[in-house]
Amino acid sequence: MSIAAEFSGGFSTARVFALVKRYIYLLRASWPRLLELVYWPAVQMVTWGFLQAYVMQTSNAVVFGAGIFIGGMLLWDLLFRSQLGFSMSFLEEMWARNMGNLLMSPLRPLEFVAALMVMSLVRLALGLGPVALLAIPFFGFNVFAIGLPLAVFIANLVLFGWAVALVVSGLILRNGIGAEGLAWTIMFIVLPLGCVYYPVAMLPAWLQPISWALPPTAVFEGLRAILSTGAIRPDLMLWAFALNIVYVSVSIVIFLYLLERSRVAGSLVQMGE
Amino acid sequence: MQSSSASAIAVAQLAKSYNGAVAVAGIDFTCAQGEVLGLLGGNGAGKTTTIAMIMGLVTPSAGSVHVLGVDMARERHKVLGRINFESPYVDMPHRLTVRQNLTVFAGLYGVVDVKARIAELASDLDLADVLDRPSGKLSAGQKTRVALAKALVNEPELLLLDEPTASLDPDTADWIRTHLEEYRKRRNAAILLASHNMAEVERLCDRVIIMKKGRIADQGVPADLVARYGRANLEEVFLDVARGTELLA
């Protein structure tokens, strides 16, 4: 059929709305899809609002010159990709309709989780290693110069990334592939609340306890302390580590619970939208 | 009924409901080691739910499933290495080659000599030419043979097959059936076969269960059922049961 022929023969608004109705039905039936609509604009607004406030209050060029932003960006990406690397390997099995094969095999759920964690590390090394090296010639920022504290930062961020990924994977198992969007967006809540680019003090007082309950907040505060004053804050790292033990433990329980609920709901044999 | 320890499968009062809708309404049956048991029924009769409960992918609302003497609700992991399945509801990663897919599953099932087992399966199932091709690039017949290779990778004592020859041409379907018959004889394996192909069921199955609306409507040896209903073949028996003209007990 020619392109001109596509413009002839009438245009049916009824057919358009029939298809629109199909998407509305899908949205109504999937709370993760609805949440995604609101979530991203809200996260963007809050993040950049607090960052603007920080920049307006801080006239100290040394603070910005020390690589606060690029260091924050690199570690933020590490956090995001540790979760995404886990979630993507998990989603690969959903997209391939391979989950039934895996869950029917002798593979135990915790072995599955361990394999996803390993793949998260592999993806991180492949994805972020070269980027961290590129930051040296491009911006004169050597994240590796942070030394041993960097390893502690990474460990804490990766652990939190896995905790989030475990909950997301459980929700996808339980709710189907319609919850896939959570894998791409959920971590962005940490961007404003985890104070990636500005100190916790920039947040309203009522929001600060919530922020401190997130392990990345301690990591990014620790990063800013090292970059701006050279001070190492073991108290912050211990706090992050203690929180991570709780988060990872709880997320494993939630994952196993949602897996069991999936068996009860029969969603493991109906892995569609 | 045979005892659960002597049976490959022992299902007792097995039931499943989804939000009040009954999918399986308390069924009992066994499948002995070395037996091929057919599970028949129209769409929505409860076959797939029953198989999924036997596999442990769906948790029953009530009742029990024992596989090779193991309670699937409590100790599923003890027996998963000794069973396997093929179903149209699952697939294998398309971008991996057939050899890569079989290597992964051989690893998951604890096969000791992976290379030798894959070579054996490739020979048995005529897969040598496609071993290094991406699984997603195969024809329907080749995909079915690969799925069967995956299902046989651990030489299971119990094989659960859900429509194993659906969408295959008659020649390929016959080839698959012949292979299943040989495997069952060689390994004395039990096979639970869900199928809509009555000729296939008559050829392969020692006994059949006909399900209707989540219940067992009738069961028996195919030839006995055909005789009892006074019909020419199992397909006519199936239609009688599906349309509610089954014999009164």
pLDDT digits (tens, 9 = 90+) for B132-158: 999 999 998 889 899 999 999 999 999
**Bridge partners of B66?**
B10, B71
Q: Which one of A96, A100, A105 has the shortest CB-CB distance to B87?
A: A100
Q: Which one of A98, A106, A269 has the shortest CB-CB distance to B109?
A: A106
CB contact under 8 A, A97 and B110: no
CB contact under 8 A, B49 and A107: no
CB contact under 8 A, A266 and B16: yes
The per-residue pLDDT of chain B, averaged, comes to 90
Q: pTM of the full predicted structure? A: 0.84
Which of the two residues, A203 and B1, has the higher pLDDT score? A203
CB contact under 8 A, B87 and A264: no
pLDDT band of B64, cuts 50, 70, 90: very high
CB contact under 8 A, A101 and B110: no
Lowest mean pLDDT among A39-48, A110-119, B12-21, B218-227: A39-48
**Which residues of chain A does B80 touch, with a Cβ-Cβ cutoff of 8 Å?**
104-106
Render pLDDT for B8-37 as a digit per residue (tens, 0 to 9).
999 999 999 998 899 999 999 999 999 999
DSSP chain A: --HHHHHSS---HHHHHHHHHHHHHHHHT-HHHHHHHHHHHHHHHHHHHHHHHHHHH---HHHHHTTHHHHHHHHHHHHHHHHHHHHHHHHHHHHTT-HHHHHHSS--HHHHHHHHHHHHHHHHHHHHHHHHHHHHHHHS--GGGG-HHHHHHHHHHHHHHHHHHHHHHHHHHHH-GGGHHHHHHGGGGHHHHTTSSS-GGGS-TTTHHHHHTSHHHHHHHHHHHHHHH----HHHHHHHHHHHHHHHHHHHHHHHHHHHHHHHHTGGG----
CA atoms B111, B112, B115, B117: torsion sign? negative
Is B82 a residue whose pLDDT tops 70?
yes
Chain A residue with minimum CA distance to B102: A101
Lowest mean pLDDT among A21-30, A170-179, B25-34, B145-154: A21-30
pLDDT band of A62, cuts 50, 70, 90: low
Enumerate domains of chain B plus CATH numbers. 7-195+206-242 (3.40.50.300)
Tokens of B53: 């409960």
CB B228 within 8 A of CB B247: yes
